Amino acid sequence: MRELCEQAVAAALGAGASYADARAVLRRSQVVGTRNERVERLDDAESEGLGVRVLVDGAWGFACDRRLSAEGARAAAEKACAFARAAPGGHRRDLAHVEPAQAEFRTPFERDPFAVSLADKVEHCLRAERALKHDDVKVTAASVRAQREHKVFVSSDGAAIEQELVECGGGIDAMATRGDITQIRSYPSAHGGSSSQGGWEVVDALGLEREAPRVGEQAAALLQADPCPSGVMTLVIDAEQMELQVHESVGHPTELDRIYGTEAAYAGTSFLKPGDLGSLRYGSEHMNITADPTTPGGLGTFGFDDEGVPAAREAIVKEGILQGFLTSRETAAKIGSGSGGSMRADNWSRMPLVRMTNLHLEPGEGSLEELIEGAGDGVLIETNKSWSIDDKRLNFQFGTQIAWEITGGKLGRMLRDATYTGQTPVFWGSLDAVAGKEEWVLHGLTNCGKGQPGQHAHVSHGTSPARFRNVQVGFKA
C-alpha cells in the first residue's frame, strides 16, 4: 500500500501538483443487531481503495479509486489534478509546517474482535435482549459492532505513516408502549450504543446483559411517570447527555473550517470568530475543554491525523476562556497558530475535513450525589433522546429519555419527556459545578455527520455530570 501511495503522489506531482498526499485504506466492519430476539442485521463489510488529494495552482482536487493497483493510483492522481485545474481558486493556499514523519501507530487491544465468531456476537446480543424483558416493553434491541481500519498515508512533504485503528462497541434499547405513550431507555448511550478503540474486551466491559434489567424496568416505569414540568430551573445533566452537549455546542463551533465558512451550506458556521481566540468568555470558570487524540480508547485517537500531523493534546477552553480551535494545516496557517491535527476522512473515498478527535470536559470535584445535594430544587436528566442546534451553534434544544425531580437536594419522582434549551455561551456561563474524575466517563459516537458528500466521523467525549443554573426546561411556546 505504501508503494501505491508513493506512486500516486509521484503521478500527482508529475501532473502539476505543488502538493499531494495519498491515503490507501482497507476497512472491515461487522454489525450484529437483534430485535425482539430475531437477528435483524448480520453484516460483514469490507471496503478498500485509495484517495489522492492535490494542490494545483492554489486549488484543491480530490479523486479516488477502489483499485489498489498502480493503474488505480495513477488514475486517481491524474483526475484529482484535472479537477483542481478545472476549478481554480482566487488565491494561494498555505499549509502550516509539519515535520514529515515516518511512523507507525496501532490500537492496542487484548482480543481481536474479528476472531470472535459472528455466532458469539449474535449470542451476546440475544442474552442482553432476554434480560431486557418486561411486560410493558414491546420492543427490545441489542447490537454490537467492530471495525478495523488499516491505512497508509504518504505526502509529497516526505511523510509515510501506517496506522491500524480497531474499535468495538454495542448498546441495548427497551421500548415500552401503553396507549398513546411510548418511552425508550438505552444503555450505555442512545442512538446505537457507545464504542471505544480496543478489542472485544471493550464490548465485554460494557456489561450489556448486566445493565439490561434496569433498562427494561425504567422503560416500563416511564409509562407511569409524570411529564417533566416546564420552567427556568437548576439542571443536573448526566455524563452521557453531557457528551452530546459538548459535541454540539463546543466541538462543532470550534472547528476552524466552519468558522471560515466552508460548511456554511450544509452543517453551518459558528458564532465564533478567529479573533475570539484567547479572549472570548465561552462559559464559567468551571468550564475546561480539551482536545486530546492521545486518549486511550478514544474513537478519535490516532498517531497522526489524515494530513500526517502528530496527535497532541490541546486546551480548547480553559477556565471558561476560548484557548484553541480544531484545525487543519490550511486553517492553522490562516490564523498563524499551530499546525493542524484534526483532519480526518471517512474511509478512502472522501477528502479529509476538520473533525473532532476526542473532546473532553475536564472533571471538577465531587460526586453526582453532591451535585444533586447542591442543586436545591431542579431536575436531573439522563441519556439523549433528541438533539438540534442552529447553524451557528447558538440556540440548542435537547430531549432526554428520563429525568428525576430534585427537591431540597434529594432525588424525587421519575419524570418523562424532558427537554431543555439555551444559547451556547449563556448556558455554559451558568455552569456552576462539574463532578470529579471518579464520575468521568468516555463515550464514543459513530454518527457525527459533516461535509458534502457526507462523511461520518467516529469521535469520543469524556465527561462528568455537570450542574447548570437558570436553564429553560421544556418548551416556551
Residue 425 interacts with another protein (CB under 8 A)? no
Quote the CA–CA distance of 468 and 119 in Å, as a whole number.
45
Report 173-202 residues binding another protein (CB under 8 A).
175, 177, 180-182
Residue 92 interacts with another protein (CB under 8 A)? no
Q: Which of 41, 97, 106, 413 binds another protein (CB under 8 A)?
A: 41
Which of these, 321, 334, 338, lies nearest to 274 by C-alpha position? 334
Give all strands (DSSP E) within 254-304, no chain letters: 289-291
Residue 275 interacts with another protein (CB under 8 A)? no
Piece in contact with another protein (CB under 8 A), picked from 129-137, 160-168, 268-276, 316-324: 268-276
DSSP string, 218-258: HHHHHTTSEEPPPEEEEEEE-HHHHHHHHIIIIIGGGBHHH
Residue 255 interacts with another protein (CB under 8 A)? no
Please enumerate in sequence order all residues whose Cβ is within 8 A of that of 207, keeping only pairs 6 or more positions apart, or say none.
none
Quote the least distance from Cβ 110 to another protein, whole Å.
22
DSSP string, 143-157: EEEEEEEEEEEEETT
- Nearer to another protein among residue 386 and residue 407 (C-beta): 386
Q: What is the distance between the terminal CA atoms of the chain, rounded to a whole angstrom? A: 57
Q: Which of 108, 158, 278, 449 binds another protein (CB under 8 A)?
A: 449
Residue 69 interacts with another protein (CB under 8 A)? no
For 69-86, give one letter per residue: b (16+ CB within 10 A) or e: eeebbbbbbbbbbebbbe
Residue 47 interacts with another protein (CB under 8 A)? yes
Residue 49 interacts with another protein (CB under 8 A)? yes
- Nearer to another protein among residue 3 and residue 120 (C-beta): 120
Alpha carbon dihedral 397, 402, 407, 408, in 10-degree steps, equals -90
Residue 45 interacts with another protein (CB under 8 A)? yes
Q: Which of 161, 333, 389, 457 binds another protein (CB under 8 A)?
A: 389
Residue 430 interacts with another protein (CB under 8 A)? no
Residue 46 interacts with another protein (CB under 8 A)? yes
Residue 122 interacts with another protein (CB under 8 A)? yes
Please enumerate in sequence order all residues whose Cβ is within 8 A of that of 378, keeping only pairs 6 or more positions apart, or say none.
233, 234, 235, 236, 406
Piece in contact with another protein (CB under 8 A), picked from 101-109, 196-204, 303-311, 348-356: 348-356
Q: Which of 147, 196, 245, 419 binds another protein (CB under 8 A)?
A: 419
For 432-447, give one letter per residue: b (16+ CB within 10 A) or e: bbbbbeebbbbbbbbe
Residue type, 3: E
- Nearer to another protein among residue 339 and residue 419 (C-beta): 419
Piece in contact with another protein (CB under 8 A), picked from 146-154, 282-290, 370-378, 418-426: 418-426
- Nearer to another protein among residue 86 and residue 232 (C-beta): 86
Quote the CA–CA distance of 229 and 235 in Å, as a whole number.
12
- Nearer to another protein among residue 288 and residue 384 (C-beta): 384
Residue 232 interacts with another protein (CB under 8 A)? no
Quote the least distance from Cβ 329 to another protein, whole Å.
14
Quote the least distance from Cβ 450 to another protein, whole Å.
10
Where residue 244 falls (left for φ over 0; alpha for ψ -120 to 50; beta otherwise) is: alpha
Report 126-165 residues binding another protein (CB under 8 A).
126, 138-139, 141
Residue 99 interacts with another protein (CB under 8 A)? no
Quote the least distance from Cβ 370 to another protein, whole Å.
31
- β-pair type (395-407, 321-322): unpaired
Report 277-316 residues binding another protein (CB under 8 A).
none
- Nearer to another protein among residue 105 and residue 387 (C-beta): 387
Which of these, 271, 247, 257, 272, lies nearest to 307 by C-alpha position? 257
Q: Which of 147, 156, 269, 446 binds another protein (CB under 8 A)?
A: 269
Q: Which residue has the cell 421519575?
A: 414
Judged by DSSP in three states, 285 sits in coil
Residue 351 interacts with another protein (CB under 8 A)? yes
Q: By the 8 A CB rule, do 471 and 396 touch?
A: no
- C-alpha cell of residue 387: 438533539
Q: Which of 395, 411, 414, 436 binds another protein (CB under 8 A)?
A: 395
Size of site (CB under 8 A) for another protein: 86
Piece in contact with another protein (CB under 8 A), picked from 4-12, 58-66, 332-340, 370-378: 58-66
Q: What is the helix (H) or strand (E) element at residue 317, kind and residue range?
A: strand 314-318
Q: By the 8 A CB rule, do 170 and 186 touch?
A: no
Q: Which of 312, 394, 414, 441 binds another protein (CB under 8 A)?
A: 394
**Bridge partners (DSSP) listed for residue 142:** 34, 172
Quote the least distance from Cβ 142 to another protein, whole Å.
11
